Structure formats: structure tokens, C-alpha cells
Amino acid sequence: MGWLRQTTDSSIGGKLIVAVTGLAMVGFVVAHLSGNLLVFGGPQAVNSYAEGLRKLGALLWVARIGLLVMATLHIVFAIKLNLANRAARPQAYAVKTYRRASFASRSMLLTGMALLGYILFHLAHFTFRATSPELAALGEYEVYQMIVLSFQQPLIAGLYIVSMLLLGLHLSHGVSSLFQTLGFNHPKYRSLVGSIGPILGVLLALGFSSIPAAVLFGLLK
């Protein structure tokens, strides 16, 4: 297992782990948004989708455990890299000049931590239904009703919309950066790789936010 230790101890190995786990989670987020958008097709569409997912049984658990492992590796190695980068810089810069680094790239640790907080809340809210007795009382597959009841509360809808903006910000730098780490850094691809993150970030933030916004404005009820 010496090679494994060597890979995970090196900064390029750590970067690769952050990139590959990040890419896998982007795959989940895109699939999750596609499923969630079925809410616009009405209760039947989204509820039977949720039921179908549950009926995957063991396969669903494999995906859940895979996601948990991805998220843990992503966080551990991203923090390790961040600390190593700080240690490599003997003193904080006296004058901060951020000519090249974008706001999104400088705030990765912060948006990442906020997203972790969001995901923990989201699991308590929709997966464990532990945040309100009203949700706990719904039937197992009444996902449409759960979404509408939740987002009729402006505070919850607002919290989700702000979190989706943070997700968009995190991915706008993260996705471009992961493709660079994976070797797409030829000048030919530079502008494509540079735009893919911001484009995906905006699409995902808008797509996810459309759900709480539609409920809040009474389009879904």
C-alpha cells in the first residue's frame, strides 16, 4: 500500500482526489436536480420518482455510501491542501493583491463549509424529516407535499435559495479547476475549461432555486 500513501501524501495526489470526488458529486447534483424538477410535473410525477428510487433497495444504499465516502475524501483532502498552501506562504501577504484569483476561488473553503452545513440541514429536513412534525406525518412517498409545505415558509425557501447561490459559486470555480487538474490544460481547451464552471454553476443555482421560488410565488401548491 506504499503507493497509496505516496499518492495521498503528495500535493498532486491530494488534488487528484479532490478533483475526482468533486466530479462524482457534480454527477450526483445534476442527477438530483433532474429528479427534483419533476416537481413541476405535479405530485404524481415526483412522488412516483421518489418511490422508484426507494425501490432500488440495496443499490440505493451503495450510491448513498459511495456519496458519503466521496464527500468525506473531498473535504479531508481539500482542507489538507488548503493548510499546505497556507504553510508554504511564510507570512500572510501584507498587501493583498488579488489580480488573478477570482472571488469564487478565494472563497472555496468558506463556500464549501457553508455547503456542508446546508447538506446536514437538508438531510435532517427532507431525508429524516426531523425539522417539523408536519413533515414527519406525511406518507413516505409524499415528496411533492413535503416540498410545497416546506417552501411555503419564506425562511426555509430563503435559506435554500441562498445555499443554491453558494453552490453555484463553489462550482463555478470548482468545476473549471477540476478539469485543469485532470489534465485539460492545453491552450486549445483553456477558454472552454474556464467557462464550463461558471456556466454549470449558474445553471445549477437557477435550476435548484426555481423550486423554492415557484412555491414561494404560489406557482406550485
Residues lying near ligand HEM in the complex (CB under 6 A):
29, 32, 36, 50, 64, 119, 122-123, 126-127, 143, 147, 160, 167, 208, 211-212
Which residue, 61 or 98, has its beta carbon nearer to ligand HEM?
Answer: 61
CA atoms within 13 A on the CB side of 182: 15
Query: What separation, in Å, do the N-terminal and C-terminal C-alpha atoms of the chain show?
Result: 55
Please state, in angstroms and rounded to a whole number, the distance separating the CA atoms of residues 68 and 120: 12
Which residue, 13 or 207, has its beta carbon nearer to ligand HEM?
Answer: 207
Question: Considering the complex, what minimum distance in angstroms separates the CB of residue 35 from ligand HEM?
Answer: 8
Please state, in angstroms and rounded to a whole number, the distance separating the CA atoms of residues 89 and 121: 35
Which residue, 8 or 131, has its beta carbon nearer to ligand HEM?
Answer: 131
Please state, in angstroms and rounded to a whole number, the distance separating the CA atoms of residues 22 and 100: 23
Question: Considering the complex, what minimum distance in angstroms separates the CB of residue 199 from ligand HEM?
Answer: 17
Question: Considering the complex, what minimum distance in angstroms separates the CB of residue 109 from ligand HEM?
Answer: 16
Question: Considering the complex, what minimum distance in angstroms separates the CB of residue 205 from ligand HEM?
Answer: 9
CA geometry: angle 36, 205, 69, nearest 5 deg: 70
